[in-house]
Amino acid sequence: MPFRAIAKRFGADLTISEMISANALVCNRKKTKKLYEKSAIETPYSVQLAGSDAATISEAVKILNDEDIDIIDLNAGCPAPKIARGGGGSALLKDPRLLGAIVAAIKKVSEKSTTSVKIRLGFDRNNGVELAKVCEDNGADFITIHGRTKTGGFTSPVDYEAIGEIKSKLKIPVIANGDIDSYEKTRSVFNATNADGVMIARAALGTPWIFAELKDQSVIDRASKRAAIIEHFDSAIAFYGAYGAIIFRKHLHRYSRSYEGAAAFRVLINKTSDITQMRDMIEKFFER
């Protein structure tokens, strides 16, 4: 949540929770709630559910009906064995009938304005048009497509042409995703796909100001970056407590990447868990 809030402040139009297991939400509502808690500025806000059982997902949607959120998104792309082994995430790409049934179940029970689905192009082959149509026919209001198959993991070339083909066959909006990391790349993806929007994941890590750069080619200066990093740190501590300092190490590894002395800074940060000390180190290191 602290990270999403920073992305939002730099212009992300829509922020989405991490993937929430429908089963975990139904079994342990209170504990799971923390995982999708939103910041006050996150409107519109989407919560992503993962699962493979329409009845359990319906129960999870009923819980989310009581929450101040705008969109319920279904994960049909996660390759993690923990999720896919149970038939959820990317396993849904192998079972279009079940995918459709789950989208229909969400649509039926949800009291939120929007239902969406995040898919890949297929499991081990591109049948993205079929999968996207199943989502549309069962009530999805928009879809996001990561332009790789599950087998393609996170490194195979992204097939923007395939995203474009899906876009040309659907009535609902399509968001293109995969390896988008600059203003120029965004323009070329819009040209190749005719998509209605783009989704950024990894390129925002360590550079949440990318949203400002993508929207209007803004150049974010180092003073503004420093202020954002400190704000991110403070809200991480407020949200996670002392553990926030441990979590924040990985963010600092990324934030410091383009700075002189980053390697030595990382070593220091890895030895620090004291909140005041870490904040002082951040203030000093990014002051240039």
Ligand X SMILES: Cc1cc2nc3c(=O)[nH]c(=O)nc-3n(C[C@H](O)[C@H](O)[C@H](O)COP(=O)(O)O)c2cc1C
- Residues making contact with ligand X (CB under 6 A): 18-19, 48, 75, 77-78, 118, 146, 154, 177-180, 200-203
CA distance 197 to 190: 8
Closest by CA to 281, choosing from 208, 203, 255, is: 255
- Are the C-beta atoms of residues 129 and 141 closer than 8 Å to each other? no
- Are the C-beta atoms of residues 180 and 211 closer than 8 Å to each other? no
- Are the C-beta atoms of residues 154 and 181 closer than 8 Å to each other? no
In this complex, which beta carbon is closest to ligand X, that of residue 192 or of residue 281? 192
3-class secondary-structure state, position 269: helix
- Annotated active-site residue 78? The verdict is yes
We find the least distance from the C-beta atom of residue 71 to ligand X, in angstroms, to be: 13
We find the least distance from the C-beta atom of residue 280 to ligand X, in angstroms, to be: 29
Residue from 5, 47, 78, 162 carrying the catalytic annotation: 78
In this complex, which beta carbon is closest to ligand X, that of residue 77 or of residue 100? 77
First-to-last CA distance in the chain? 28
We find the least distance from the C-beta atom of residue 68 to ligand X, in angstroms, to be: 21
We find the least distance from the C-beta atom of residue 22 to ligand X, in angstroms, to be: 13
In this complex, which beta carbon is closest to ligand X, that of residue 87 or of residue 226? 87
In this complex, which beta carbon is closest to ligand X, that of residue 82 or of residue 108? 82
We find the least distance from the C-beta atom of residue 120 to ligand X, in angstroms, to be: 8
Query: CA-CA distances (angstroms) from residue 120 to 9, 123, 146, 237, 268?
Result: 28, 8, 5, 35, 40
DSSP secondary structure letters along 55-80: HHHHHHHHHHHTSS-SEEEEEE----
Count of C-beta atoms within a 10 Å radius of residue 10: 20
In this complex, which beta carbon is closest to ligand X, that of residue 18 or of residue 137? 18
Q: Count CA atoms within 13 Å of residue 267 on its CB side.
A: 3
In this complex, which beta carbon is closest to ligand X, that of residue 170 or of residue 200? 200
CA distance 224 to 22: 38
For 203, residues 6+ apart whose C-beta sits below 8 A from its C-beta are 180, 181, 182, 210
Closest by CA to 45, choosing from 66, 67, 16, 22, is: 16
- Are the C-beta atoms of residues 168 and 159 closer than 8 Å to each other? no
We find the least distance from the C-beta atom of residue 85 to ligand X, in angstroms, to be: 16
Active site residues per annotation: 78
